[in-house]
Amino acid sequence: MRIGVLAVQGAFAEHISRLALLGTEGFEIRQRKDLSAPFDGLILPGGESTAMRRLLKELDLLVPLKTMIQNGLPVFGTCAGMILLAKEISGGEAPCFGTLDITVRRNAYGRQLGSFRCREQFAGSEIEMPFIRAPYAERVGENVTVLAQHENRIIAVREGSQLAAAFHPELTDDTAVCKYFLQMVAKSPLNVV
């Protein structure tokens, strides 16, 4: 299994290190030519979503990655990655990929100084969740499964081959969320031979 990690900005190295810990190859996607080798899943890391969106366009990565996601490539977005995937962003900002049927509120938990950690249930397991200028989902579509909540706010969701979390599981020692994503990838119709 080979997982591409968007590496134009943000916490991509931490995701690659989590993948390696689980015996999975992760590689950086920095430019269009990085899409030429086959890969089984995609991670959109945390970072600054506005900068990431601009770089995706400038590097000619937005359209090919969106097409891959629409065609069923398993994708996992954390924090800014959740914003990039969202179909709607509160406040009227245009969506980036717009493939995940949720409405997100950016910086919903405040500024950098408002960062915090908590423990909540994720898909049936209690895990540590670091929040850094995190969003949350204000609305989820009919086909979206809520996987985690914090103080009655939706912080992790899944729709088909798309997984998104408002927190940063890659910044903890717990690999439960990464394992969940890798199981999604393994079960993807694109990867079943």
Q: 28-85: per-residue pLDDT in tens?
A: 999 999 999 899 999 999 988 989 999 999 999 999 999 999 999 999 999 999 999 9
Mean pLDDT (the chain) is 92
Active site residue 96: no
Say which of 79, 96, 159, 178 is annotated catalytic: 79
Which of the residues 14, 88, 159, 170 is marked catalytic?
Answer: 170
Q: Indicate whether 193 pLDDT > 50.
A: no
pLDDT at 192 over 60: no
- Catalytic residue flag (residue 58): no
Q: What is the amino acid identity at position 137? A: A
Closest CA relative to residue 185, chosen from 38, 42, 7, 65: 42
Catalytic residue among 15, 88, 168, 178: 168
pLDDT at 125 exceeding the cut of 50: yes
Is 15 catalytic? The answer is no
CB-count burial class (<10 Å; 0-12, 13-18, 19+) for 103: middle
pLDDT in tens, 85-121: 999 999 888 999 999 999 999 877 766 556 889 999 9
Residue listed under structure tokens 């269009």: 32
CA distance readout (Å), 138 to 74, 101, 103, 141, 155: 23, 11, 6, 10, 9
Question: Which amino acid, residue 78?
Answer: T
Q: Residue 10: is its pLDDT beyond 90?
A: no
Say what the pLDDT of residue 177 is: 96
Give 2-187's CATH code, choosing from 3.40.50.880, 3.40.1010.10, 3.10.20.340, 3.40.47.10: 3.40.50.880
Query: Which residues is 4 bridged to in the sheet?
Result: 27, 42
List helix spans (H) across the chain.
12-21, 49-58, 62-70, 80-85, 176-187
Predicted pLDDT at 113: 53
Cβ–Cβ under 8 Å, residues 89 and 106 = yes
